[in-house]
């Protein structure tokens, strides 16, 4: 677990990639919520989400050769990408949104998001540290759908 988390926080490339995916998730959630509310500004947010997702994948495919993180992502498949890039971004989104909800004094959504963020952290990096990559990725995909459902219900 410590080695996985250390590889995320030590490399600037991983922080840029995870930050880009986190921004894409943030604007995706805002855009979907705005569109469901009947506001066309949601299309603008979806466009910004597409920009951050595209920049994430562009940088992922063009990581500088000298980076230590380049060897990690040289042979990524979908499941590896989900466990290396999507999981930290999703955990960040759950925990950041829970802090925002706590500041807005919305305790129930804050505790729900905090619960899901911390349990995903535990499942992937603690309990599931020895799980196969595809099992961790499937758990993350289910948590991603839960995040979308929580964003839908938030007003």
| Confidence tier at 66 by pLDDT (50, 70, 90) | confident
Instruction: Return mean pLDDT, the chain.
Output: 86
Confidence (pLDDT) at 72: 75
What is the reported pLDDT for 128?
A: 81
Place of tokens 């758990």: 139
Is pLDDT of 38 > 60? Answer: yes
Three-state DSSP string of 2-68: HHHHHHHHHCHHHHHHHHHHHHHHHHHHHHHHHHHCCCCHHHHHHHHHHHHHHHHHHHHHCCCCCCH
Q: What is the pLDDT of residues 101-151, one digit of tens each?
A: 999 998 998 999 999 999 999 999 888 888 898 999 999 999 998 888 877
For residues 143 and 18, give the distance between their C-alpha atoms in angstroms, rounded to a whole number: 17
């Amino acid at each position: 677990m410590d080695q996985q988390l250390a590889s995320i926080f030590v490399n600037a490339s991983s922080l840029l990639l995870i930050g880009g995916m986190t921004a894409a998730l943030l604007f995706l959630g805002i855009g979907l919520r705005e569109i469901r509310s009947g506001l066309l500004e949601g299309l603008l947010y979806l466009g910004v989400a597409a920009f951050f997702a595209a920049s994430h994948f562009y940088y992922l495919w063009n990581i500088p050769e000298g980076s230590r993180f380049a060897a990690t992502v040289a042979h990524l498949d979908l499941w590896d990408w989900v466990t290396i890039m999507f999981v930290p971004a999703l955990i960040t989104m759950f925990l950041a949104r829970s802090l925002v909800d706590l500041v807005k004094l919305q305790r129930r959504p804050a505790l729900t998001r905090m619960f899901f963020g911390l349990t995903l952290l535990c499942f992937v990096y603690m309990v599931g540290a020895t799980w196969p990559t595809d099992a961790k990725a499937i758990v993350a995909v289910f948590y991603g759908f839960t995040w979308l459902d929580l964003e839908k219900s938030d007003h």
